[in-house]
Amino acid sequence: MFQFTDSSGRVIFLLGATVVAAIVSRAAFRKIGLPSIVGFLAVGLGLRAADDRWGLLAGPGSEMFDVLADVGIACLLFRVGLESNLQGLVRQLRRASVIWIGDFTVSGMLGFATAYWLLDLGLAASLIVGTSLTATSVGVSVATWQAENALKSARGQLMVDVAELDDVSGVLLMGVLFAVLPLLKTGSIEGLGPAFAETLGLFLLRLAAFLTFCYLFSRFAEERLTTMFSRLGLSYPLMGLVVGTAFVIAGLAASLGFSIAIGSFFAGLMFSRDPHAVKVDGNFNSLYEFFSPFFFIHISLNVQMESLWPALGLGMMLLVPAILGKLLGNGLPTLYFEGRIGAILIGASMIPRAEIAMVIIEHAVELGPWAMPPRVFAAMVFVSLATCTLSPLAVTRLLHRWPQSVPSATAA
């Protein structure tokens, strides 16, 4: 293999090759009707294999992907928050919240029980697995319904509402989990009651203060700020300035002991209430599509190739609660509101695990093997790949069998 004379040339080469591979994989997977994140994870695995053989990521290369992954997380979660329709969610909160309670409880408890009692993965890893399996990839689900022109149907909107509740609860539960998880490093909870209560109490106080700031910013400052930005008369001022402000908020959240993901998500929520800010998303697409793949690529880069094949069996076993938790947790309460067809459609649509789930797993890796052993990490990457592949295929066939009618537009 050819040699680079300096590290800068190697880093630039890697960056360019990865960007091209991500763009090609995005186009290829979209063409065959699969989520592009499957391609991004595959790109990362390929880069991991190349690094094991040729040492491409030594030194600055590894640091570059670490930084780009953090920017990718910020872009990813900012967009999730920005696309959340909280006002619409409130209007359908009764039905969506009932379904969400079943979804959150069944998927989380089934994931934890399987990991802890059946697979004996340990308390910390089992809590992480259970937490990650409560989440849903709203992006994968929305894309599937949108492709079948069913997203604006009553069931499509209900599915989006439940998925948005999943996002919010997943982010909040992630914050609580990683605040108290270091206390479990010994693997036992005996004698940790006072320390646990103190740590959890301090975290909840910081979270309450941060959420209060978010609410006040959204209620009293956000509209004035975006209006001021839009009057500057620069080329694309709103996109750059709003995203820059969101990153500042995400950084402040990280300094308060939260993650960049949590800060970015709530920054997106703060701007989502203003239609002028939501328009940023069209200009934000190019930035989002450039940086977000690096988060998923970075996940695959953390997979140890020697643990990949042994982890497939574990991944298949974790795939069972990943699928059943959403089918049962969403399907049973949905059966009451929407009948059998609605229960099957919404249950199957909630199966994909990508954005929030992978943020949780990635964050767990930073704690060390005691919290996230390499084989469990590789198994959860497999679960993400499998759920993001199987669910769109199944839901597409179900929507062909049971087309969803979209209400006709009424005159204003």
Q: For residue 48, which of 294, 299, 312 has the smallest C-alpha distance?
A: 299
Write down the residue that tokens 């909107």 correspond to. 157
pLDDT at 130 over 90: yes
Residue 55 to residue 77: CA distance in whole angstroms: 31
The residue with greater pLDDT, 247 or 139, is 247
**pLDDT of 160:** 85
How many distinct helices (H) and strands (E) make up the chain? 17, 0
Q: Do residues 39 and 28 lie in contact, with contact meaning Cβ atoms separated by under 8 Å?
A: yes
Report if residue 14 sits inside a domain.
no
Q: Virtual CA dihedral for 306, 308, 309, 310, nearest 10 degrees?
A: 80
Report if residue 32 sits inside a domain.
no
Q: Do residues 117 and 132 lie in contact, with contact meaning Cβ atoms separated by under 8 Å?
A: no
CA 99 centroid distance within chain:
20
pLDDT at 330 over 80: yes
pLDDT at 297 over 90: yes
Per-residue pLDDT tens over the stretch 379-402: 999 999 999 999 999 999 999 999
pTM of the model: 0.86
**pLDDT of 202:** 87
Per-residue pLDDT tens over the stretch 141-193: 888 898 888 988 889 888 988 988 888 888 889 988 998 888 888 655 666 67
Report if residue 88 sits inside a domain.
yes
Backbone angles phi, psi at 390, to 5 degrees: -70, -40
pLDDT at 410 over 60: no
Q: Do residues 61 and 11 lie in contact, with contact meaning Cβ atoms separated by under 8 Å?
A: yes
**pLDDT of 400:** 93
Residue 97 to residue 117: CA distance in whole angstroms: 29
pLDDT confidence bin for 315, thresholds 50/70/90:
very high
pLDDT confidence bin for 412, thresholds 50/70/90:
very low
Per-residue pLDDT tens over the stretch 223-235: 888 878 777 765 5
Mean pLDDT of the chain: 86
Total tally of structural domains belonging to the chain = 1
Write down the residue that tokens 């439940």 correspond to. 162
Q: Residue range 202-212: average pLDDT? A: 88
**pLDDT of 10:** 82
**pLDDT of 348:** 96
Residues ≥6 apart with Cβ < 8 Å to 318? 111, 114, 115, 119, 129, 379, 380, 383
Report if residue 277 sits inside a domain.
yes
Report if residue 144 sits inside a domain.
yes
Report if residue 58 sits inside a domain.
no
Report if residue 317 sits inside a domain.
yes
pLDDT at 50 over 70: yes
Q: Residue range 5-33: average pLDDT? A: 86
Q: Residue range 345-368: average pLDDT? A: 92
Residue 60 to residue 75: CA distance in whole angstroms: 23
Residue 80 to residue 17: CA distance in whole angstroms: 27
Q: What percent of the chain has pLDDT over 70?
A: 90
The residue with greater pLDDT, 245 or 240, is 245
Q: Residue range 204-218: average pLDDT? A: 88
Enclosing domain of residue 283 = 78-288+311-401
pLDDT confidence bin for 411, thresholds 50/70/90:
very low
At 157, which CATH number? Answer: 1.20.1530.20
Residue 390 to residue 60: CA distance in whole angstroms: 37
Report long-range pairs for 368-372 (Cβ below 8 Å, ≥24 apart): 370/124, 370/185, 370/187, 371/124, 371/125, 371/128, 371/181, 371/185, 372/124, 372/125, 372/128
Per-residue pLDDT tens over the stretch 54-84: 888 877 888 889 999 999 988 888 888 887 7
Buried b / exposed e over 47-83, threshold 16 CB at 10 Å, is: bbeebeeeebbeeebeebbeebbbbbbbbbbbbbbbb
- Environment class of 175 (CB within 10 Å of its CB; exposed 0-12, middle 13-18, buried 19+): buried
Q: For residue 239, which of 71, 82, 84 has the smallest C-alpha distance?
A: 82
Handedness of CA 342, 38, 177, 372 (dihedral sign): positive
Written as one letter, the residue type at 377 is F
**pLDDT of 44:** 93
CA 184 centroid distance within chain:
24
Q: Virtual CA dihedral for 40, 46, 52, 54, nearest 10 degrees?
A: -110
- Environment class of 129 (CB within 10 Å of its CB; exposed 0-12, middle 13-18, buried 19+): buried
Backbone angles phi, psi at 149, to 5 degrees: 55, 40
Tokens of 13: 């080469």
pLDDT confidence bin for 129, thresholds 50/70/90:
very high
**pLDDT of 386:** 93
Report if residue 8 sits inside a domain.
no
Buried b / exposed e over 321-347, threshold 16 CB at 10 Å, is: bbbbbbbbbbbebbbebbeeebbbbbb
Backbone angles phi, psi at 3, to 5 degrees: -110, 145
